[in-house]
Amino acid sequence: MNLYSLLQKRELENNPVRVGIIGAGKFATMFMSQVIRTPGMSLDVVFDLDRKRARENLIKAGFDSELLRENHRSPCSKAEVFVTDDGSQMFREGMLDVVIESTGDPICGTEHAIRCIDQGLDVVMVNVEADVLAGFELAKKARENDVIYSLAYGDQPALIVEQVDTVRSMGLDVVCAGKGTKYMPSYHQSTPETVWDHYGLTPEEAALGGMNSKMFNSFLDGTKSSIEMTAVANATGLKSPADGLAFPACSIDDLSSVLIPKAQGGVLEQSGMVEVISSLNRDGSEIERDLRWGVYVVFEAGTEYVRRCFREYGLVTDRSGQYSALYRPYHLIGLELGVSVASVALRREPTGVPVSFSADVVSVAKRDLKVGEILDGEGGGTVWGKILPAETSLKSRAVPIGLSAQLQVVRPIQRDRIVTWNDVKVNERTTAHKLRRQMEISFSGWFRIESPAPGCQPCATRSKHALCAGWSAAALAAVILTWSPFAAVSQKRRPRV
Give the tens place of pLDDT for each residue, 31-78.
999 999 999 999 999 999 999 999 999 999 999 999 999 866 555 555
Sheet order of strands, 405-409 included = 374-376, 405-409, 424-425
What single letter denotes the amino acid at residue 461? T
Query: Over 90: is that where the pLDDT of 152 sits?
Result: yes
Q: Are residues 80 and 125 in the same domain?
A: yes
Asked whether residue 388 is domain-assigned, the answer is yes
Q: Are residues 147 and 161 in the same domain?
A: no
DSSP string, 431-470: HHHHHHHHHHHHHHHHHT-SSPPTTPPPPSSTT-GGGGGT
Q: What is the pTM of this model?
A: 0.89
Asked whether residue 409 is domain-assigned, the answer is yes
DSSP lists the bridge partners of residue 17 as 41
The set of residues, in sequence order, having a beta carbon less than 8 Å from that of 353 and lying 6+ positions away, is 135, 139, 148, 149, 150, 151, 235, 485
Pairing of strands 359-365, 383-389: antiparallel
pLDDT at 211: 78
123 half-sphere exposure, CB direction, 13 A CA radius: 35
Q: Are residues 33 and 171 in the same domain?
A: no
DSSP lists the bridge partners of residue 174 as 299
The secondary element (H helix, E strand) that includes residue 135 is helix 128-144
pLDDT at 78: 59
The set of residues, in sequence order, having a beta carbon less than 8 Å from that of 367 and lying 6+ positions away, is 189, 381, 382, 415
Please tell me which residue, 437 or 92, carries the higher pLDDT value. 437
Beta-carbon count within 10 A of 487 CB: 8
The answer to whether 274 touches 239, Cβ cutoff 8 Å, is yes
pLDDT in tens, 473-496: 334 344 433 333 333 344 444 434
pLDDT band at 89 (very low <50, low <70, confident <90, very high): confident
User: What is the average per-residue pLDDT within 104-121?
Assistant: 95
Rg (CA), the chain: 23
The set of residues, in sequence order, having a beta carbon less than 8 Å from that of 427 and lying 6+ positions away, is none
pLDDT at 475: 40
pLDDT in tens, 402-432: 999 999 999 999 999 999 999 999 877 789 9
Q: Are residues 298 and 382 in the same domain?
A: no
Residues 189, 433: Cα–Cα separation, whole Å: 27
b/e burial code for range 451-462 (CB count within 10 A of at least 16 → b): ebbbebeeeeee
pLDDT at 474: 39
Q: Are residues 105 and 165 in the same domain?
A: no
What single letter denotes the amino acid at residue 484? S
With 0-12 CB in 10 A as exposed, 13-18 as middle and 19+ as buried, what is 421? middle
The pLDDT mean for the chain works out to 88
Give the structural domain span for 61.
3-153+336-347
Q: Are residues 97 and 166 in the same domain?
A: no
Q: Are residues 20 and 128 in the same domain?
A: yes
User: What is the average per-residue pLDDT within 172-192?
Assistant: 96
Asked whether residue 485 is domain-assigned, the answer is no
pLDDT-above-90 percentage for the chain? 78
Asked whether residue 486 is domain-assigned, the answer is no
Residues 43, 238: Cα–Cα separation, whole Å: 35
Asked whether residue 195 is domain-assigned, the answer is no
The answer to whether 399 touches 384, Cβ cutoff 8 Å, is no
Pairing of strands 405-409, 122-125: unpaired
Backbone phi, then psi, for 255, in 5-degree steps?
-55, -45
Q: Are residues 117 and 241 in the same domain?
A: no
pLDDT at 470: 33
Torsion angle of alpha carbons 17, 20, 23, 26, nearest 10°? 30
Q: Are residues 390 and 314 in the same domain?
A: no
Asked whether residue 201 is domain-assigned, the answer is no
The residue among 442, 497, 359, 361 whose CA lies nearest residue 140 is 442
Asked whether residue 8 is domain-assigned, the answer is yes
Q: Are residues 18 and 128 in the same domain?
A: yes
Q: Are residues 95 and 142 in the same domain?
A: yes
Asked whether residue 188 is domain-assigned, the answer is no
Lowest mean pLDDT segment, chosen from 102-106, 330-334, 404-408, 458-462: 458-462
Query: Over 90: is that where the pLDDT of 231 sits?
Result: yes
Lowest mean pLDDT segment, chosen from 305-314, 359-368, 423-432: 423-432
Q: Are residues 309 and 391 in the same domain?
A: no
Domain tally, the chain: 3
pLDDT band at 219 (very low <50, low <70, confident <90, very high): very high
pLDDT band at 448 (very low <50, low <70, confident <90, very high): low
pLDDT at 224: 97
The enclosing domain of 385 has a CATH number of: 3.90.1210.10
